[in-house]
Amino acid sequence: MQVFRRLSFRLFSTSIVDVNPLSNDKQLVEITKLMKNYNNSHVPIRTYALFEWMINIIDLKPDLNCYLRVIRACTDLNNRNICEKIHKFIDKDQQLSSNDHLQLQIKLIYMYAKIKHIEAAEQLFRLIRNSLSDISLFGTMFKGERVR
C-alpha cells in the first residue's frame, strides 16, 4: 500500500490551496474560488500570479471559470502584455469546447476594449462575428468603444 503525503500551498492569503495531485478537479474549484476572492478584493495581480502558479508549477489545466477569472484580472491590471499572454494561452487550449472558446473570445474583446487596445478587439470581433449572429457580440464591441 502506497502512502501519499498531503501537500498544501499558501499563496498571498490566509486561504490554503491543497495541491494533492489526486484531486485535480477539487483543486481547480478551490483555485477558482480563491481567484474570485482576489478579484473581489481588488488584487488582480494575485489572481494572475495564482494562474501562473497553477499552470507552470502544479501543471493544472484551467477550465472556463478559471479563464473568466483571469480575464477579469487582466482587465483590471490594464497590462497589454499580460492580456496578450492570456489570450495566446486560451487560443492554444485544445480542451475547450467550441462554445466555451467562443464565450472566452467575447470576454477577450471586452478586455481589449477596456484596456484601450481597440485594434486587438476589432481583430477578434471580425474573426468571430461570421460564426455568431448574437447581438451581445455587437453590444460588447460597442461597450468597449465607449471607454475610449
**Secondary structure in 3-state letters for 2-51:** CCCCCCEEECCCCCEEECCCCCHHHHHHHHHHHHHHHHHCCCHHHHHHHH
pLDDT category of residue 38 using cuts at 50, 70 and 90: very high
- How high is the mean pLDDT of the chain? 82
pLDDT score at 19: 53
What pLDDT, in 10s, does the model give residues 65-104? 999 999 999 999 999 999 999 999 999 999 999 889 989 9
Q: Identify the pLDDT of residue 93.
A: 92
| pTM of the predicted protein model | 0.74
Does the pLDDT at position 5 exceed 50? no
% pLDDT > 90, the chain: 61
Please report which confidence band the pLDDT of residue 145 belongs to, taking 50, 70 and 90 as the band edges.
low
Enter the DSSP assignment of 114.
H
Q: Is the pLDDT of residue 1 over 80?
A: no
Cell of 114: 477596456
Residue that is written with C-alpha cell 465607449 in the block = 146
Find cell 495531485 and name the residue.
21
Distances in Å between the Cα of 37 and the Cα atoms of 14, 34, 65, 115 are 12, 5, 13, 22
| Contacts of 119 by beta carbon, 8 Å cutoff, 6+ apart | none
Among 2-6, 15-19, 32-36, 123-127, the least confident range:
2-6
Look at residue 140 in the predicted model and tell me its pLDDT: 59
What are the extents of the domains in the chain?
1-96, 98-148
Which sign, positive or negative, has the C-alpha torsion 74, 78, 81, 87? positive
Residue 44 has pLDDT above 50, yes or no: yes
Asked if residues 8 and 19 have their Cβ atoms less than 8 Å apart, the reply is yes
Look at the block and give the residue holding cell 467550441.
Answer: 98
| Average pLDDT of the segment spanning 36-59 | 94
- Phi, psi of 57, rounded to the nearest 5 degrees: -100, -50
